[in-house]
Amino acid sequence: MTRINQPHPVLRVDNLCVEFATTAGQIRAVDQLSFSVEAGQTLGIVGESGCGKSVTSLAIMGLLPKPAGRIVDGSVLLDGQELTRLPEGRLRQLRGAELSMIFQEPMTALNPVYSIARQMTAVLKRHQQLSARQARHRAIEMLARVGIPRPDQRIDDYPHQLSGGMRQRVMIAMALSCQPKLLIADEPTTALDVTTQAQVLRQMVDLQQELGTAVILITHDLGVIAETCDQAVVMYCGSKVEQAPVADLFLQPRHPYTAGLMQSIPRIREHKLDRLPVIEGQVPNLAALPPGCRFAGRCPNREDRCVQQQPPLTERGAQQFACFNPWNGPVES
């Protein structure tokens, strides 16, 4: 995929730590997470349910549920600007304009009592001092670009008159309408059927390429990662266990967890996976994490030190992984 070379990345997340206050005590949902995304690039984040993918994206957007969730450490730099210390009012001006987010459930993500036109133009008017007519014009143009037929008519529909795929396209159009620098897509296609899923993803990637937007794509589906991403981050229990360019990752996964994920992908994917393939064992409880590697309990390569010490991130070429005893063998599926 094309890569626009730029001196510094659009988004740089550094040592991000997010905690939740719960009845069971303080939970660390994201632990020392670092990654960066460049303009026009797509970064995939994979990991099991509950590993902190959504929390990461909400933390970047400054939308963690208050007062329970809090960024306790780390920084989020958008184009060199520190977001974690920005006052809410400033952050609000950035949301939808500089950084956008789309969510998993297209059926419920739009406000049911207003037409698509009302909702899309509201965003445009809010961020781009457009007149009502200009905003409408722009919204129709965006709808056309995400492949909605007869957008000048569809724009006056209400969400319930559109199919799930159409609604997700509307969300994508709305999210990209102000040409944000960064788009976070949290499982944008999980709720759609296979064919629609592919189409919607295609449309999103095309538009992103045209606009040069940096994308974080969160998914359960390694196939989606393979098809659409440049880089991939694998998360486990709130922290990054591996990161690599997608080609390297599929060629030689280093973390046994990644390898396990890949091993369980069926060769010929006839139906979409809405959850990750099953790996033996249980995810540890976030409220009582073991001192060592969090994956140790389920790891085939476990050594003694794995349960005593957390393995640090090791770099090998463009690939990073947190494992004492990395996977070397082939990945069979």
Partner 1 sequence: MSDPGIILPAPEPAAARLRPERTSLWGRALDQFRRDHAAITGLAIVAVFFLMAVGVWFGWWGTQWSQALGGRWEGPSGGHWLGTNLLGQDIFQRAVYSTRTAFEIGLIVAILSTLLGGLLGALSGFYSSRWIDSVLLWLMGTLDSIPFYLFVAAVAVAMAGNPWAMHIAMVATFWTTTARLVRGEVIKLKNLEFVEAAHAIGLGQFRIIFRHLLPNTFHILLVQGTIVFVSAIKAEVILSFLGLGVQDGVSWGLMIAESTQEVLAGQYMNFIVASSFMFVLVMAFNLFSDGLQDALDPRRAPR
Partner 2 sequence: MELLSYVIRKLIGGIPLILGVTLISFVLMVYFGPDKTFELLSKNPTEAEIAQVRAQLGYDRPFLVRYAEYLKEMATLDFGFSDSTGERVSSILSRTIPVSLALLAPGFVLGNLLGIVLGLVAAWYRGGWVDKLIMGGAVVGMSISFLVVIVAFQALFGVVLGWFPVRGWNVHDLPSYAYYVTVPTLASVFVALGYNTRFFRAVLVEEINRDHVRTARAFGARPAEILFRNVLMNAMIPIVTRILFSIPLIVVSGSLLIESYFGIPGIGKVTFDAITSGDQPILKAVVGLTAVLFVLILIVTDILYRVVDPRVSLTGDAR
Ligand X SMILES: Nc1ncnc2c1ncn2[C@@H]1O[C@H](COP(=O)(O)OP(=O)(O)OP(=O)(O)O)[C@@H](O)[C@H]1O
Kindly list the residues in this chain that would bind partner 1 in the complex (CB under 8 A): 24, 282-285, 288, 290-292, 296-297, 302, 304, 307-310
Round the CA-based radius of gyration of the chain to a whole number and report it: 20
Residue 29 C-beta: closest distance to ligand X, Å? 3
Stretch (H or E) spanning 235: strand 231-236
250 lies in the site for partner 2, by CB under 8 A:
no
From 64, 93, 94, 69, select the one nearest 79 (Cα to Cα).
94
In the list ligand X, Mg ion, partner 2, none, the entry touching 301 (Cβ below 5 to 8 angstroms by class) is: none
From 258, 255, 245, 259, select the one nearest 324 (Cα to Cα).
255
> Is the Cβ–Cβ distance between 204 and 170 less than 8 Å?
no
From 168, 181, 29, 192, select the one nearest 103 (Cα to Cα).
168
From 50, 14, 15, 58, select the one nearest 216 (Cα to Cα).
58
**What is the sign, positive or negative, of the torsion defined by CA atoms of 44, 50, 52, 53?**
positive
160 lies in the site for partner 2, by CB under 8 A:
yes
Binding mask 314-333 vs ligand X (x if CB under 6 A, - otherwise)?
--------------------
Binding mask 38-67 vs ligand X (x if CB under 6 A, - otherwise)?
---------x-xxxxxxx---------x--
Residue 326 C-beta: closest distance to ligand X, Å? 24
54 lies in the site for Mg ion, by CB under 5 A:
yes
95 lies in the site for partner 2, by CB under 8 A:
yes
In the list partner 2, Mg ion, ligand X, none, the entry touching 27 (Cβ below 5 to 8 angstroms by class) is: ligand X
Residue 119 C-beta: closest distance to partner 2, Å? 9
Q: Determine the distance from the C-alpha atom of residue 322 to the mean position of all C-alpha atoms in its chain, rounded to a whole number.
A: 21
DSSP secondary structure code for residue 302 in this structure:
-
Q: Which residues bind Mg ion (CB under 5 A)?
A: 54
Q: Which residues bind partner 2 (CB under 8 A)?
A: 61, 63, 67, 92-97, 100-101, 103, 105, 108-115, 122-123, 126-127, 158, 160, 171, 174-175
